[in-house]
A and B are shown apart, each in its own frame.
Chain A
Amino acid sequence: MGGAVPALNPGPGGSSPAPPPRRWATGPVWLALQVALSGSLLALFLLPLFALFTYAPVGDLVSAAHSREVQAALFLTLLASGLAVLAALLFAVPMGYVLARRRFPGRAVVQALVALPVVVPHLLVGLGLFFLFLPGTPLFRFTQWIGFPVYDTVWGVVLVMVFVSAPYTVLASELSFRAVDDRVLEAARALGAGPATAFLTVTFPLALRGIVAGLLLTWARAVSEIGGLLILAYAVYPGGPYNGPVTSTVSVYIYDLFQFGDLADAAAVSSVFLFIAFGLFVLVRLGERSGWVPWRRGELVP
């Protein structure tokens, strides 16, 4: 019955329908290799998470989610990582702009320095900050005086998080600011936009997608930090914007549970945390797909 459908655009040759466009042929060995390699990596990504989810009974998950202690740790983690993202927005995005759009002596050195926190082992970050703010040093007195003490406070947590995670925002925003076409900017200027207006209406919106991607990486890196926190802010006491009970970030909290051999609770809290992190990620992706977020407008997306 296939022959009953007339071809929309019969070729000059006759009535036989055109063959489907030929796809790039992949040999079976090559295909099997690709599937096996990617599959192994995917398994490595997924199986530990599966093990985590299935170790503790669902009831433990629910009770973990309701526990005051867990809630305090979650709140502290989200608060501190949120502040770290805010700091990245305030400091790292302008830095990315400067690196992308300004020529100055020593620019290459600055670029190399920005990548430094990514390669420094995080325990050393904690140690470095610990030595920097040793009681008695001028910096210690200064932080006390301005009301941002770093030892075992939320500010210490934020400081460590910014140190290890801000480079991602610097690098991502540098790349996306550099990708903004100068001619589009010049068109805006000629249409009457001053430098500030052109930045706000053209440069920033066009770079926003890359900036957001950088901020997401920053956030992901910040919430998973533990090395630096173990040294600088192991436990966090109420103060600053955090006014809950004495607690620690989720990562340190889970580490503690593990240390004391409370594996079921460690698994349960980890699962709750995973749900939240994954949920936020899915929310952002859905937003991007639905088109209500402002940073993908005008793109050629299906």
Chain B
Amino acid sequence: MTSVWTVAGLEVELERFHLGPVDLRVAPGNAVAVLGPSGAGKTTLLRTLAGFLPMRRGRILRDGVDVADRRPEERSLGYVPQGLGLFPHRTVEGNVGYAMEIADRPDAAARTRELLAQFHLTDLARRYPSRLSGGEQQRVAIARALAADPGLIVWDEPWQGLDVLARQELGLVLHDLRVTERVPMVVVTHDPALAFSVADSFIVLSGGRVRAQCDATTLLKAPADPFAARFVGFENVFDAAALAPRGAPGLRAWLAERAGTEGIAFASPIYPAGPSARWEGTVRSARPGPHGLTVEVVADDLLVTLRVPPPMTSPIPGPGDRVRFDVDPLALQPLGVRGDPVGAR
């Protein structure tokens, strides 16, 4: 019984924090990832959807019916809080069967067995959550949420505290849920790779305001703010404040001219670029990594990150070296509204 969920003009007023307005639409088969730095209001949004925080104005519609006044238990929404909120005093079986048990469903036992099998939990059925690994606990949480036949799954930080393998596995499970079972989902996450693996649309929150709302391609092509730009993998992100002119024309002024209201982002500059390259800086650090060498260069008081992919044909720069690099004007991504960001040109 998946449903279409629409959030319109949702605003929440807490002590010293205002969230919204947020508009949102999730249909069966959709998954929305809520992105944003800590304190952006992601958890507040989720807890409001689940009915644990009062909203100031706006509507939450399930298949066109306003559920904003309903209590959490009447929203048929599978809310998984941060840290999962498993029942420590109930076995895996008891956790998964909880919703059906309190609803006195006659098929509770059979459905519990089915869910345990679906999530490879049958052998762990009699264990308590404290005896499970992180990945096993996540599977219990999702099986438990599905047992209530939720119209929407709302999950706060699903990947928290998982190792790399468990993260990938959970990504697959969530992707499966969305594609095969068509359960709509809203997930909060910090992890870009996993967000892209699960979600087909994104909301970027910052300071309680929606900074961007788009599908994955748009987010990649035109990140709206510095957070989104870092999230989609731009190595160099400068917000408008960092580009304020300091007199002499240089990289900073050149970037400021091309920035949007929120700043500017670009991937790795062209390096090595030969003696004719336009910009010069001093190497602060050079770290090898899985995708080559990451070199941090201070140029015109900006910290610019260069990525040198393998094979390493040129000499590897060390701290203190002077290096020259170029930035392709076509690779620049203005953030926010295109225009005059810093008031001076």
Contact = CB atoms under 8 A, between A and B. Distances in A.
Interface of A: 181, 183-194, 197, 201-202, 205-206, 297-300
Contact of A191 (B71, B83, B89, B145): B145
A191 B88 contact: no
Interface in B44-99: 47, 50-52, 71-73, 75-91, 98-99
A140 to B, nearest CB: 47
Given A191-B148, A298-B128, A184 B72 contact: no
Interface string B221-262: 000000000000000000000000000000000000000000
Contacts of A206: 88-89
Nearest to A194: B73
A192 to B, nearest CB: 5
Contact of A190 (B72, B88, B89): B72
Contacts of B130: 298-300
A205 B91 CA distance: 13
Smallest CB-CB A-B distances: 5 pairs: A187-B85, A190-B79, A298-B128, A183-B81, A191-B99
Contacts of B50: 186, 190
Interface string B95-121: 000110011000000000000000000
B144 interface: yes
B129 interface: yes
A186 B87 contact: no
A98 B83 CA distance: 26
B71 to A, nearest CB: 7
B148 A192 contact: yes
Nearest to A296: B89
Tell me the dominant secondary structure on chain B's binding face.
loop
7 contacts: A184-B87, A189-B72, A191-B78, A191-B145, A192-B76, A192-B102, A194-B71
Most buried by B among A187, A197, A297, A298: A187
Most buried by A among B78, B84, B88, B89: B89
Contact of B73 (A183, A192, A201): A192
B88 A184 contact: yes
A194 B103 CA distance: 11
Given A194-B73, A298-B129, A300-B130, A188 B98 contact: yes
A193 to B, nearest CB: 5
B102 A191 contact: yes
Interface in B276-303: none
A299 B51 CA distance: 30
A185 to B, nearest CB: 8
A244 to B, nearest CB: 41
Given A181-B83, A190-B79, A192-B102, 17 more contacts: A183-B83, A183-B84, A186-B50, A186-B72, A189-B51, A190-B50, A190-B78, A191-B144, A192-B103, A193-B98, A193-B102, A194-B73, A297-B89, A298-B87, A298-B129, A299-B128, A300-B130
A184 B72 CA distance: 13
Contact of A201 (B79, B83, B98): B98
A161 B102 CA distance: 39
Contacts of A183: 81-85
Contacts of A191: 73, 78, 98-99, 102, 144-145, 147-148
A67 to B, nearest CB: 45
B72 A298 contact: no
Given A183-B81, A300-B130, A192 B89 contact: no
Contacts of A188: 85, 87, 98
Nearest to A181: B85
Nearest to A187: B85
Contacts of B144: 187, 191
Contacts of B86: 184, 187
Contacts of A190: 50-51, 72-73, 75, 77-79, 145, 148
A77 to B, nearest CB: 34
Given A192-B103, A197-B102, A186 B52 contact: yes
Contact of B88 (A193, A201, A298): A298
Nearest to B127: A298
A187 B79 CA distance: 6
Nearest to A297: B89
B73 A193 contact: yes
A184 B85 contact: yes
Contacts of B131: 300
A83 B88 CA distance: 32
B138 to A, nearest CB: 13
Interface string B17-54: 00000000000000000000000000000010011100
A206 B51 CA distance: 23
Contacts of A197: 102
A219 B340 CA distance: 76
B103 A298 contact: no
Contacts of A298: 87-91, 128-130
A201 B145 CA distance: 17
Contacts of A192: 73, 76, 99, 102-103, 148
Most buried by A among B81, B82, B103, B128: B81
B79 A186 contact: yes
